[in-house]
Amino acid sequence: MFKKISFFILITALASISYAQNTDSITVAKARWQKTRVAKQVKLFRHHFDQKNLFLANENISFLEVKNTGRKAIFALGAEEKELIKTSDFGIRDTAIAALNGNFFDVKNGGSVDFVKVNGNIINTNRLDKNENRARHQQAAVVINDGKITIKKWDGTTDWETKLTEQNIMLNGPLLTFNNVDELLDTTSFTRLRHPRTCLGVKPNGRIILLTVDGRNENSAGMSLHELSRLMKWLGCTSSINFDGGGSTTLWVNGMPDGGVINYPTDNKKWDHEGQRKVANVVLVKKK
């Protein structure tokens, strides 16, 4: 009898999870996204799920969708070896259309803790743990060739990133989905708990999504990596990779109100556009 009851509870729980996910996917699909044409081949989407109707929470989501052709709009990296700069200042300095905060960095001393190469020059190398193991955010990369960006997965070798032929490389992660296959995520609090998130996704038609989810506020809860992974799939991405999030999460678009800061960065613990954290590097969208 006990086994039958346990089996029934398990089936009921799985059915409830499946129902909730289906409901959430429909919520995303039916959302009335605020759409803004930013430039040729670049469009901004924004929506505030403010009825606790996405993952049973309020969620504020902003993303750019960019045609990844290397024609009108191209991708580039902006980085500093040691200095930390606001995402918006990177964008202004490099005369970009848009900028998205990049990978993980040394808050005290500056500079990325992950491998970064810009225009053929190595800016930072991986900082490994005491056993010479890679962090999860060193097991994938975004790479740019002729202005087009894509995601690559670590092949398990120690010098993988140095063998990549692209002139612009930024290790990041964890990888969420790769070529339509979900990656196995760990069970750390970083993965399980909700935080502000930054993410890049690739759609089957080649278009790129640069996305932020705000968090740490009653207006937007943030997401776990499992929730973020599902969101990116519902937006049509077959590959997606997590970037540094938390107080770093920032999407900037040139010429937009509030100094171009689209989302609600949390470093000032206020629900406004003033709370940017300085970062080591960014992904840029530029006019060719």
Return the structure tokens found at 85.
């700069």
Could you report the per-residue pLDDT of 132-165, keeping only the tens digit for each?
899 999 999 999 999 999 999 999 999 999 999 9
Residue 85: predicted pLDDT: 97
Estimate to the nearest angstrom the gap between the alpha carbon of 200 and the chain centroid. 4
| pLDDT for residue 17 is more than 80 | no
Average model confidence (pLDDT) across the chain:
93
| pLDDT for residue 16 is more than 50 | no
The count of domains in the chain is: 2
Nearest 10 degrees: CA dihedral of 91, 94, 95, 99? -30
Q: Give every strand in the sheet of 208-213, ordered side by side.
A: 34-39, 42-54, 57-66, 208-213, 197-202, 239-242, 175-178, 181-182
Q: Is residue 14 located within the same domain as residue 143? A: no
Q: Give every strand in the sheet of 140-145, ordered side by side.
A: 121-124, 116-118, 168-171, 140-145, 148-153
Q: Which domain holds residue 26?
A: 1-30
Q: Is residue 19 located within the same domain as residue 112? A: no
For residues 139-176, b (16+ Cβ closer than 10 Å) or e, as one string?
bbbbbbeebbbbbbbeeeeeebbeebebebbbbbbbbb
Q: Is residue 240 located within the same domain as residue 129? A: yes
CB 141 within 8 A of CB 126: no
Let me know the angle formed at the C-alpha of 154 by 150 and 156, rounded to the nearest 5 degrees.
165
Residue 20: predicted pLDDT: 54
pLDDT band for position 13 (cuts 50, 70, 90): very low
pLDDT band for position 7 (cuts 50, 70, 90): very low
Q: Is residue 19 located within the same domain as residue 126? A: no
Q: Is residue 82 located within the same domain as residue 6? A: no
Q: Is residue 13 located within the same domain as residue 155? A: no
Could you report the per-residue pLDDT of 24-34, keeping only the tens digit for each?
999 999 999 99
Q: Is residue 125 located within the same domain as residue 186? A: yes
Average pLDDT for 33-58: 97
Q: Is residue 127 located within the same domain as residue 20? A: no
Q: Is residue 129 located within the same domain as residue 7? A: no
- Bridge partners of 47, per DSSP, are 61
Q: Is residue 24 located within the same domain as residue 158? A: no
Q: Is residue 7 located within the same domain as residue 120? A: no
Residue 130: predicted pLDDT: 86
Please enumerate in sequence order all residues whose Cβ is within 8 A of that of 173, keeping only pairs 6 or more positions apart, or say none: 135, 136, 137, 138, 139, 140, 241, 242
Between helices 2-30 and 225-234, what is the axis angle to 10°? 50
Q: How far apart are CA 183 and CA 101, in angstroms?
A: 23
Could you report the per-residue pLDDT of 176-225, keeping only the tens digit for each?
999 999 999 999 999 999 999 999 999 999 999 999 999 999 999 999 99
Please enumerate in sequence order all residues whose Cβ is within 8 A of that of 107, keeping only pairs 6 or more positions apart, or say none: 84
Q: Is residue 193 located within the same domain as residue 270? A: yes
Could you report the per-residue pLDDT of 228-276, keeping only the tens digit for each?
999 999 999 999 999 999 999 999 999 999 999 999 999 999 999 999 9
Residue 131: predicted pLDDT: 87
pTM, two decimal places: 0.92
